[in-house]
Amino acid sequence: MTSPLSWCRVSHDFALQINVILLVVGVIFLLDVFSHLYLKVVMFPGLRLYPVSLRSWVFWVRILTMVAYNVNAIIGIFMSRELTVFKFVGYVLIGCVLLLYSFSIAVSRFMFRSRFEFFVKMLVLQMWINNSLSKIEVEFGCCGKTSVIDYQTVANNRTWAAGSCCEEQNCTGCITKVTQYLWTIEMDVARDNIIVSFFLLLSLIVMAAHYKYVQLQQESYYSDNSEEIFRADDTNTERIAIRA
């Protein structure tokens, strides 16, 4: 008789491959975290206030999350080769926690935009006070905090960077340019966590479907053996009765 769950069969090779893909995706996004950390060190070093995506504790949380994600993928690879209860429970538990966490991080990046803009203003203001805004002016082609007026009204004789656009018309301030750029970082974080959430959900569904089918196969295997044993016993009983 055909099993009612035969439509959701997942092959052993596919269960292995989905965890290999999970591991590759995890390594790629772990490198993305380090690229954002490198950006912070090079472009915005030594400041006291940062937007959420550039704070040190956020980098540590993202790194630990991606490491746990890769560990979960490795557990899935070993589990597809040799199944144990400990591996299966650990895989499902870690996967569910990471799924909820990564999804919440992705959703939160689209919230609190006004708070994000406030911290960007504080970041640019710190660089202006420290007289270290020239690198940003050259990189983004901006002028001062808000416009060239910042240099015209400043008390001391401060000059803009040679690569800035302060001598051109319609030259915008660095707050606008930095806000636009750092918002792309926020969206990168959201994108990474959305993709991670998708692959985590897919892997959990695939592994659950695969090992549920394996369990059904084992149960049917034992039922077939039991039927053969009962038939053998009945045959032996009939032979004994005939001899008697």
Instruction: Output 11 or 31, whichever has higher pLDDT.
Output: 31
Q: Is residue 53 part of a domain?
A: yes
User: Residue 156: which pLDDT band, with cuts at 50, 70 and 90?
Assistant: low
| Domain total of the chain | 1
CA distance 132 to 123: 11
User: DSSP readout, 41-77?
Assistant: HHHSTT-S---GGGSHHHHHHHHHHHHHHHHHHHHHH
pLDDT tens digits along 183-213: 998 888 888 889 888 988 888 888 877 776 5
Q: Is residue 169 part of a domain?
A: no
pLDDT tens digits along 5-22: 444 455 667 777 888 888
Please report, rounded to a whole number, the percentage of residues in the chain having pLDDT higher than 70: 80
Q: Is residue 92 part of a domain?
A: yes
Q: Is residue 134 part of a domain?
A: no
Mean pLDDT of the chain: 78
Domain that holds residue 96: 11-128+192-232
Tokens of 187: 């969206």
The pLDDT value recorded for residue 214 is: 53
Q: How many other C-beta atoms are found inside a 10 Å radius of the C-beta of residue 148?
A: 19
> Whole-prediction pTM value?
0.71
Q: Is residue 200 part of a domain?
A: yes
